[in-house]
Amino acid sequence: MTKKLLFINPFVEDFTAYNLWAAPLGLFRIMEYHENIGDDVTYLDFLDGNFVGDDAATPPVYRSWERHSYWKREIEKPECLKMIPRKYYRFGANDDTVRKTLSEVEKPDKVYISTGMTYWYRSVLKIIDFVREIFGDIEINVGGISAILMPEIFEGKNVTVNTGKAQIPENITGTGMKYLKNLHFFPANLIEGCPNRCPYCSSVIFNPKVSYKDIPTLAKNLEKWHAETGFCDVAFYDDALMLRNGEMLRDFLDRLPSDVYRFHTPNGLHLREIDDDLCKYLEKYSFPQLRFGFETAFSRYEDKTSLNQLKSVVKLLKEHGFTNERIGVYLLCGLPGQTVEEVEKTIEIVAEIGARPYLNEYSPVPKTKLFEEHFKESKLDFKSEPLYQNNSVSAWRSPVFTPVVVKKLKEQLYRIYSASM
């Protein structure tokens, strides 16, 4: 029996939000699966859909490589965030647009709502309320990142909370390919999971085991998408893209022309996997900028990349034509027990080696080891109020990395960036 299913990607409320090749790929796969078994599927993107703008909102601005801002309008900050001297925004559709759009949809048999960051949970709760207001007491399924990491937030809303990844039968296609046609970039995922067990990362929670995708099919889908859309930017969603010295990545690239696509790596790459042969691939194909996970130059966790590895990889990349600006290195600031001097020196070291440091303010992730460690030192109760898990709130949580300290660190980065321009 055919079912009418409504899938929703919620708007976001935050200090900042930017589309660095983000798309609800998991939701797309489930939608396509249901279409293939005969269900009637409707999709509403209240964050980045072409219908979400309004006269009072600031329109998105597109930058290079199909990155862009979202439609946004300033809103009142939640009471618990009033101490932070920054503007707060609704990114995506306003309430009137949500109500109007939902009211124009035929009443579904079931609604699926995706979730993103834990500190965006209020947007999901509001969408649930809007769905109830328009459609009454119908079945609602909430899934995705926040649903898995903190299901208790949604369980009191009379919804079904999917606390694991949706399983799609292997004999029925569910790649999400149909919905990728509406994107200006192609989200590629070669490997699910990560063999590392970093205490701040949730990858193992979502994918306890490492698994590999069908590379030939993925390459064919990319070429088909390019032929139909004319766009060429590809963003890798992998947590361990370079696993086994990039074996899967090389297989993927070997199936593609070297002068058609631009490849982006927003997730931190593993330095230890980079060798001269892999650098040749990165040189042959267009990778405008690589982003590596390094965290800190001071040994803090088991099996983490050493400073010597970073030096070796940067040297290799330079030999293959990569400039400082094309070698990005993610650093973490605000870790439990971390000192200001450690971060300052790490920034200096990365810049001296010849790479570009990017400072990420630590965001505690439920169910990870550092979540509990940080809670012991935190000045804010981020267990009771997930809004405090926001990386934008890091300086108000940390007893060491205060707003004044973080400002000085960002000024240090600005001086380094200015000197390299």
List, as one string, the DSSP characters of 179-232: HHTT-SEEEE--EES-S---TT--HHHH-SS-EE--HHHHHHHHHHHHHHH---
> What is the pTM for the complete model shown?
0.93
Containing 374, the helix (H) or strand (E) segment is: helix 369-377
Identify the CATH number of the domain defined by range 4-161.
Answer: 3.40.50
What pLDDT score was predicted for residue 174? Answer: 59
The 10s digit of each residue's pLDDT in 169-220 is 655 555 678 889 889 999 999 999 999 888 999 999 999 999 999 999 999 9
Residues 6+ apart with CB under 8 A from 421: none
What pLDDT score was predicted for residue 160? Answer: 95
What pLDDT score was predicted for residue 170? Answer: 56
Any idea how long the chain is? Answer: 421
What pLDDT score was predicted for residue 26? Answer: 87
The 10s digit of each residue's pLDDT in 255-273 is 999 999 999 999 999 999 9
Q: Which pair of structure tokens corresponds to residue 363?
A: 């965001």
Q: Which pair of structure tokens corresponds to residue 91?
A: 């990114």
Q: How many Å apart are CA 185 and CA 183, to the nearest integer?
A: 5
What pLDDT score was predicted for residue 61? Answer: 93
What pLDDT score was predicted for residue 296? Answer: 80
Q: How many Å apart are CA 248 and CA 107, to the nearest integer?
A: 44
- Side-chain-facing half-sphere of 171: CA atoms under 13 Å: 0
Strand partners, 69: 18
In the chain, which residues fall in CATH 3.40.50? 4-161
Return the SS3 of 40. Answer: strand
Cα of first residue to Cα of last residue in the chain, in angstroms, is 62
Closest CA to 42 of 135, 115, 92, 105: 105
The architecture of the domain spanning 177-420 is Alpha-Beta Horseshoe (3.80)
List of the chain residues with pLDDT < 50: 302-304
Q: How many Å apart are CA 264 and CA 330, to the nearest integer?
A: 15
What pLDDT score was predicted for residue 303? Answer: 47
Q: How many Å apart are CA 188 and CA 407, to the nearest integer?
A: 35
Return the SS3 of 264. Answer: strand
In the chain, which residues fall in CATH 3.80.30.20? 177-420
Q: How many Å apart are CA 363 and CA 335, to the nearest integer?
A: 9
